[in-house]
Amino acid sequence: MNSRLHLASAFCFICLHLNSYQVLGSSKDECVIEPFTVCIGAQLSSAVLTGANLWGAVLTGADLTTALLSGTNLSSANLSGADLSNAKLFGADLSNAILFQANLAGADLANANLNGANLEFADLERASLLNASLGGANLGGANLANAALAGARYDSRTIFTQGFEPGAAGMIFNDNFISQ
């Protein structure tokens, strides 16, 4: 698979490739998405990025509503303030990703790897995190109202909002955590 992904009809406010520092996708016609890409404020609603490699990408403030991101590598990506509401992230790798204040309401994160992810103040209302890995994740201040958490794994490093009871939500504690 080609490591560069061109998205027609996508619009990036600022798109830079970190290796060459050239401006990419400066028009409404194309936005290049690949590892280490900086694409702040990208309009990628309903984009099909299934299985893409976006390792270390910066997509802060991006609109990824209803995007198809199943199996996508978003490890170490910065998605702070991004709108991923109703996105399909089934089995995605979001390990060590920054999702600070991200909107993940209604998102499908079942079987996703969120080990070490920063989900502080993220909106996860009605999100599915069934069987997700959350070892060492920071969920402080996150909205987990009506989130499906059965089978999600966490460890002693996982941070929750004060008063949240992971066991009551069906989560599984494992301090000998083995990431996916």
* pLDDT tens profile 54-91: 999 999 999 999 999 999 999 999 999 999 999 999 99
- The CATH number of the domain where 122 resides is what? 2.160.20
Quote the number of domains for the chain: 1
Q: Note the pTM of the prediction, 2 decimals.
A: 0.84
pLDDT at 32: 67
**Beta strands in the chain, from DSSP E residues, in sequence order:** 5-8, 14-17, 30-33, 37-40, 138-139, 153-154, 159-160, 172-173
- Domain annotation covers residue 26: no
- Domain annotation covers residue 92: yes
d(CA 174, CA 48): 34
- Domain annotation covers residue 10: no
* pLDDT tens profile 143-167: 999 999 999 999 999 999 999 999 9
pLDDT at 118: 98
